[in-house]
Amino acid sequence: AQAFADEIDKARMDTDSVGGIVECRIFGLPAGLGEPVFDRLDADLAKAVMSIGACKGVEIGLGFESARHRASQINDQMAIVDGKPVFLSNNSGGIQGGISNGETVILRAAFKPTPSIALAQRTVTKYGQEKTIGIKGRHDPCIVPRAVVVVEAMCALTVLDHLLSWRAYE
């Protein structure tokens, strides 16, 4: 955390900005939230979080890292422990086939650096002329610390929506 705070301070001193990643963990969800096609829990979470300004990507569980492995390395295998079925890992991030599996949901969202910076940057006017601009005033060197609660809120709203739908089916 201190290294990231130092990086934000360095960006501020350089009149620049940095992006970052927010991780959200959702505990205690029952297995069975979501649908396999249209109302997938993972798709709805991703849509909600991607609707946050400056969010450029969402991954659940291993996410993009899973593309570097074989299924035999990352499949969430199951076993019976104390008479109950349990997952031996949570590489899927608590969602399989669009449906919660009872494990902790793990979501990460990538946020781009704030584009409004004081450093001079090249652009083109509506008349097709090249121009250099520098935006004056107060600049956020990083919006990630403020995005944490927004990611949490969007995930909570999405989960609540799925819980209400799930309850209606019971």
* Contact between residue 80 and residue 10 where contact means Cβ atoms under 8 Å apart: no
| Token pair recorded at residue 125 | 């006017």
Q: What is the pLDDT of residue 139?
A: 82
Six-digit token string for 155:
């995930």
CA angle, 139 then 143 then 148, to 5° = 160
CATH value of 2-9+17-58+93-165 in 3.60.150.10, 3.40.1160.10, 3.20.20.10, 3.10.20.30? 3.60.150.10
**Distance (Å) of CA 61 to CA 14, 26, 135:** 35, 12, 38
Q: Give the position of tokens 């096609």.
A: 37
**CB 75, CB 62: distance < 8 Å:** no
The pLDDT score that the predictor gives to residue 121 is 93
Coil vs helix vs strand at 127: coil
Task: Collect the ranges in the chain with pLDDT lower than 70.
Answer: none
Instruction: Please state the domain extents for the chain.
Output: 2-9+17-58+93-165
pLDDT score at 26? 99
* Number of neighbours of residue 76 by Cβ within 10 angstroms: 16
- Per-residue model confidence (pLDDT) at position 169: 79
Residue 69: both structure tokens together: 């492995």
Q: Residue 16 in contact with residue 145, Cβ under 8 Å? A: no
